[in-house]
């Protein structure tokens, strides 16, 4: 077996134009986290939802202020889906809420 020449190796490598570049984080990613949680506490004044599993979510002020969501309207189970930046969609009972994952 003949040893490979430098020119054969160089031809097999990616050109520098096509080389992978690190992501700067400014573009959206397809990375998501999804699961089921059980609500332990809902505070309408602060707009926070806490779960028995240790997760916490902050609702936007518009959704939580003015009595838009009542505690009894929330079901005990939440299905959540969050992107890598902590922006989440919570599906609970009759609501689909936008929230930020805080913990």
The answer to the question of residue 16 being in a domain is: no
Residue 95 in any domain: the answer is yes
Give the range among 22-26, 73-77, 90-94 with minimum mean pLDDT. Answer: 22-26
- 21 within some domain: no
Over residues 29-78, the pLDDT tens digits come to 678 889 999 989 888 888 888 999 999 999 887 554 555 555 555 678 88
More confidently predicted of 3 and 68: 3
Alpha-helical (H) ranges within the chain are 6-12, 61-64
Look at residue 26 and tell me whether its pLDDT is greater than 60.
Answer: no
How far is 70 from 97, CA to CA, in rounded Å?
Answer: 13
- Please give the tally of structural domains in the chain: 1
* Closest to 90 (Cα-Cα) out of 53, 59, 44: 59
Range of the domain at 46: 31-101
Within-domain flag for 17: no
In a domain, 23, yes or no: no
3-state secondary structure at position 71: helix
In a domain, 60, yes or no: yes
């Amino acid at each position: 077996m003949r040893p490979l020449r430098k020119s054969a190796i160089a031809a097999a490598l990616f050109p520098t134009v096509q080389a992978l570049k690190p992501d700067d984080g400014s573009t959206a990613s397809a990375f998501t986290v999804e699961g089921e949680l059980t609500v332990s506490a809902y505070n309408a004044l602060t707009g926070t939802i806490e779960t028995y599993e240790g997760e916490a979510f902050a609702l936007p002020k518009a959704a939580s202020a003015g009595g838009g969501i009542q505690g009894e309207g929330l079901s005990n189970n939440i299905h959540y889906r969050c992107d890598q930046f902590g922006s989440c969609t919570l599906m609970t009972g009759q609501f689909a809420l936008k929230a930020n994952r805080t913990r």
